[in-house]
Structure 1
Amino acid sequence: MVEYCWRGRFTNADVNALHAEGFGHRVLDDDWVAQVERYSLGWVTAVDDGELVGFVNVAWDGGVHAFLLDTLVRADRRRRGIGAALVRAAVDGAQGTGCEWLHVDFDEHLRGFYLERCGFVPTGAGLIALA
């Protein structure tokens, strides 16, 4: 059974592997623990039988806006509701923190997931590529 934990423990190696698989790049050596502890409102881990199978980061602006980033589910565990459960746990964790809004940006192919499965509503937004 998958266990979801707000601000759950994880290793950098596990999140780096999930991120590489999820976003299609080589495995990096990023210090996720330091990053989320310093900059994030929280995060959610999904652990099954001692293995990290999902992760989502809840960044924030230090005020009333929180942002979902890096929603990741291990490829062999996708389409089982883990991603939606991660988002629900992130919403639950962010509630009561003083934040009033939870934002998410996504590629068009994820529209149904975030709007229909997770309950986000569409908004107008803009984006400038900096690199």
Structure 2
Amino acid sequence: MTITYEWRGTVDNAALNALHADGFGPPVAATDWRTRLERHSLGWVCAAQEGTLVGFVNVVWDGGAHAFLLDTVVAGPCRGRGVGARLVTTAAERTRAAGCTWLHVDFEDHLRPFYLVACGFKETAAGLIAL
């Protein structure tokens, strides 16, 4: 079955909340994704299979050269098939086209192979404050 990828695709809040819970753990939230994305994002990529949302990544930015990936998620049955890497590649291409020169991502250690190998990110030093 074909998976399609769409930059700034139509977001159904219920579908994205369910996908987010599938990827990051329950419960299913009631986040108003559409409002959040329109307010804070350069763009996002939606992956769909036969009309069902199976992947998503959000690109937020500083309004200039720097953009940041957030909420990269792929539905369980589609994991390990390159969907996540294609989401990130599409996001990077569109972010570059928007004039950004840097794309940042933070990730947990178990995701190192995905981001550093499959997606081509380079390891950097960074800082973090838990608030």
The TM tier, using the shorter chain, reads over 0.9
The whole-number CA distance in structure 2 between the counterparts of 1:59 and 1:13 is 21
Deviations 1:71-103 (A, max 9, x none): 000011111110000001101111121211000
- Residue 22 of structure 1: CA displacement? 1.0
When normalised by structure 2's length, the TM-score is: 0.97
CA distance in 2, matches of 1:121, 1:5: 26
One-letter amino acid matched to 2:55: G
Deviation of 1:23 (Å): 1.0
Instruction: Name the SS of the counterpart of 1:123 in structure 2.
Output: coil
Q: CA deviation at 1:12?
A: 0.4
Look up the match of 1:16: 17
CA distance in 1: counterparts of 2:32 and 2:97, whole angstroms? 28
Matched, 1:7 2:16: no
Greater shift, 91-100 or 106-115, is seen at 91-100
- 2:35 alignment partner in structure 1: 34
User: 1:90 maps to which residue?
Assistant: 91
* Alignment correspondent of 1:77: 78
Match of 2:45 in 1: 44
Residues 110-125 of structure 1 correspond to what in structure 2 (within 5 A)? 110-125=111-126
Task: In structure 2, list runs of 5 or more residues that go unmatched.
Answer: none
Give the letter for the 1:125 counterpart: A
Aligned to 2:67: 66
Q: Which runs of 4+ in 1 moved over 2 A?
A: none
What residue ranges of structure 1 are gaps of 5+ in the alignment? none
- The letter for the 2-side match of 1:88 is T
Q: Structure 1 vs Structure 2: percent identity of aligned residues?
A: 59
The equivalent residue for 2:54 is 53
**Aligned-residue offset at 1:63:** 1.6
Who is 1:107 aligned against?
Answer: 108
Matched residues, number: 130
2:26 is aligned to 25
